[in-house]
Amino acid sequence: MTSSILVVDDEPRLAETLALALEGGGLTSEFVTSADSALERIEQGEFGLVITDLRMPGRNGRDLLHELQSKRPDMPVVVMTAYASLRDAVALVKDGAFDYISKPFEIDDVIATARRALRLTQVVNENRRLRAELEGRYSFGNLIGSSPAFAEVLRQIAEVCESRATVLIQGESGTGKELVARAIHFNSPRRDNPFIAINCSAIPEHLLESELFGHAKGAFTGAVAAREGRFVTANGGTLFLDEIGDLPASLQPKLLRALQDQTFEPVGSDRSVKVDVRIIAATHRDLEAAMDDDDFREDLYYRLAVYPIRVPALRERAGDVLPIASHFLSHFAAEMTKKISGFAPEAEAALSAYQWPGNIRELQNAIERATIVASQNVITPQDLPGYVTRAKRPAATNPAVPSDLDGEMERIERDFILAALQETDGVQVKAAERLGIAERSLWHRIKKLGIKIAKTAR
Ligand SMILES: Nc1ncnc2c1ncn2[C@@H]1O[C@H](COP(=O)(O)OP(=O)(O)OP(=O)(O)O)[C@@H](O)[C@H]1O
């Protein structure tokens, strides 16, 4: 038990009395009478605190502290000493002991010190547990997918995670861009420092600057106190700028400078702040098209895209649909305590055939809903949303190898765009939504493919 205390004193009577007194205070404790037996005991059991006498024959309290610092760096050690060697005890606290107790002591003081030390152990353990959980959650193991398109993403994560290079993650909504960013952070040397995410499109323009860079007291109405921005909160770690394509033009130069020099001034302040932050940005927008339209600064784009990663849409990694669906099914079935063993073959066929314009997020929602409505021990097509089972697509078994891949791809793209426009009566915003792409990107494709839209249909 990590809340147990080990008392070490060469005077057996004193050691026993202290151990009993601690027990009397509601704490668990044991005692030993030498540093050697203490080390042996610690090897066998879990202790949350060691209280040791300083002067002992053989290895003394100082030796024990040093030994524990290398073997169990998180274990707090409290040293006890008679008044005459108080200076030594104070020196040991500077050296890393948690605290000291001078003999003779008041037992209540010892209990209070022990409680404080045990609380520290608890916090350290809790922190370690949470970190292990987070690392587990974002380790590569939880990024599901083995299709060639996704394997390339995993390879890129592994390649870039060790460096501090700025990464630009591009991909449609719901493809897992944030998960990729987290995987990079939690596999980087910065993993013990914060991962801070901010969505540039969710915060009004006038607040975004202070959100990112902080503000001085009185910088604007309502700024009653100075506040640190996300750049400072993320110091030493990673700042994830989601939807960077929506960063207002007015803030782009300031971000560029922060990226170049790791320096900026909080709003309303002329004092520069220097930070050490790794930037990972993501967008579902076509930034190159935005650059062409002068919506996004070219210099900022190149600063961000030092290492670009493109996360494929789910329809480009069709082989991953069923493994990801099964992952979500086990998750939701466990959460809802339902016994569902898998998918009926017809349900699998429907899931595989559907295009998933909303990508993994759409798949996740569909599986959550299916788990709720399922009445058998497998998911049947009736449990899936109607638009999934109704969607028709020719079976892609043994497709003929085209002699002109580019032409063929354009034909497929044109067919999908025309179908979406037809379904949405030519309303481009809706068609783009249906296809899971930005309206601007749809417009570019329409232009590129020379698709003619009837005048009435816009
Ligand atoms: N490879 C994967 N394996 C398992 N789950 C995934 C994977 N990729 C994404 N997910 C899950 O899909 C959901 C959407 O992922 P995420 O939020 O990272 O997407 P996004 O691209 O950042 O979306 P948006 O652009 O809308 O912000 C999340 O619940 C995430 O856990």
For ligand 1, whether the C-beta of 324 sits within 6 Å is yes
Q: Has residue 396 got a pLDDT over 60? A: no
Q: Has residue 252 got a pLDDT over 90? A: yes
Averaged pLDDT score across all residues of the chain: 87
CA of 231 to the centre of ligand 1 (A): 24
Residue with tokens 């992952």: 327
Q: Is 114 in contact with 135 (CB distance < 8 Å)?
A: no
CA of 317 to the centre of ligand 1 (A): 14
Query: Where does the pLDDT of residue 169 fall: very low under 50, low under 70, confident under 90, or very high at 90 and above?
Result: very high
Residue with tokens 């915060």: 203
CA of 368 to the centre of ligand 1 (A): 15
Query: Where does the pLDDT of residue 398 fall: very low under 50, low under 70, confident under 90, or very high at 90 and above?
Result: very low
What superfamily does domain 4-131 belong to in CATH? Response regulator (3.40.50.2300)
How does pLDDT run across 435-444, given as a tens digit for each residue?
A: 888 888 888 8
Q: Has residue 1 got a pLDDT over 80? A: no
Burial 137-169 (b: 16+ CB within 10 A, else e): ebeeeebbbebebbeebeebbeebbeeeebbbb
* Mean pLDDT on 382-391: 88
Query: Where does the pLDDT of residue 140 fall: very low under 50, low under 70, confident under 90, or very high at 90 and above?
Result: low
* Mean pLDDT on 190-214: 90
361, 365, 433: residue to mutate for ligand 1 pocket, most atoms within 8 A of CB: 361
CA of 443 to the centre of ligand 1 (A): 26
More confident residue, 399 or 406: 406
CA of 358 to the centre of ligand 1 (A): 10
Report pTM: 0.62
Residue 428 and residue 421: Cα distance in Å, rounded? 7
Q: Quick one: pLDDT at residue 132?
A: 67
For ligand 1, whether the C-beta of 265 sits within 6 Å is no
For ligand 1, whether the C-beta of 361 sits within 6 Å is yes
Residue 110 and residue 387: Cα distance in Å, rounded? 68
Q: Quick one: pLDDT at residue 392?
A: 61
Fold of 139-310: Rossmann fold (3.40.50)
Which residues on adjacent β-strands are paired with residue 241?
198, 281
How does pLDDT run across 272-328, given as a tens digit for each residue?
A: 999 999 999 999 988 888 888 778 899 999 999 999 999 999 999 988 999 999 999
Fold: same for 4-131 and 139-310:
yes
Q: Is 436 in contact with 172 (CB distance < 8 Å)?
A: yes
Burial 19-53 (b: 16+ CB within 10 A, else e): bebbeeeebebbbbbbbbebbebbeeeebbbbbbb
* Mean pLDDT on 339-357: 93
The residue whose C-alpha atom lies closest to atom 26 belonging to ligand 1 is 173
Q: Quick one: pLDDT at residue 361?
A: 94
The residue whose C-alpha atom lies closest to atom 10 belonging to ligand 1 is 176
Residue 434 and residue 417: Cα distance in Å, rounded? 10
CA of 179 to the centre of ligand 1 (A): 6
For ligand 1, whether the C-beta of 143 sits within 6 Å is yes
For ligand 1, whether the C-beta of 173 sits within 6 Å is yes
The residue whose C-alpha atom lies closest to atom 23 belonging to ligand 1 is 174
Q: Is 240 in contact with 198 (CB distance < 8 Å)?
A: yes
For ligand 1, whether the C-beta of 242 sits within 6 Å is yes
Fold of 315-390: Helicase, Ruva Protein; domain 3 (1.10.8)
Q: Domain coordinates of the chain in residue numbers?
A: 4-131, 139-310, 315-390, 405-457
How does pLDDT run across 79-138, given as a tens digit for each residue?
A: 998 866 778 888 888 888 999 988 888 889 999 999 999 988 888 777 777 766 665 555
The residue whose C-alpha atom lies closest to atom 13 belonging to ligand 1 is 361
CA of 149 to the centre of ligand 1 (A): 16
The residue whose C-alpha atom lies closest to atom 16 belonging to ligand 1 is 176
How does pLDDT run across 173-201, given as a tens digit for each residue?
A: 999 999 999 999 988 999 889 999 999 98
Q: Quick one: pLDDT at residue 397?
A: 46
For ligand 1, whether the C-beta of 283 sits within 6 Å is no
How does pLDDT run across 143-168, given as a tens digit for each residue?
A: 888 888 888 999 899 899 989 999 99
Residue with tokens 């060469």: 10
For ligand 1, whether the C-beta of 174 sits within 6 Å is yes
Q: At what angle do helices 148-160 and 177-186 cross, to 10 degrees?
A: 40
Q: Has residue 377 got a pLDDT over 70? A: yes
For ligand 1, whether the C-beta of 145 sits within 6 Å is yes
Q: Has residue 223 got a pLDDT over 90? A: no
The residue whose C-alpha atom lies closest to atom 15 belonging to ligand 1 is 176
142, 169, 178: residue to mutate for ligand 1 pocket, most atoms within 8 A of CB: 178
Is the CATH number of domain 405-457 1.10.10.60? yes
Q: Has residue 400 got a pLDDT over 80? A: no
How does pLDDT run across 17-73, given as a tens digit for each residue?
A: 999 999 988 899 999 999 999 999 998 888 899 999 999 999 999 999 999 988 888
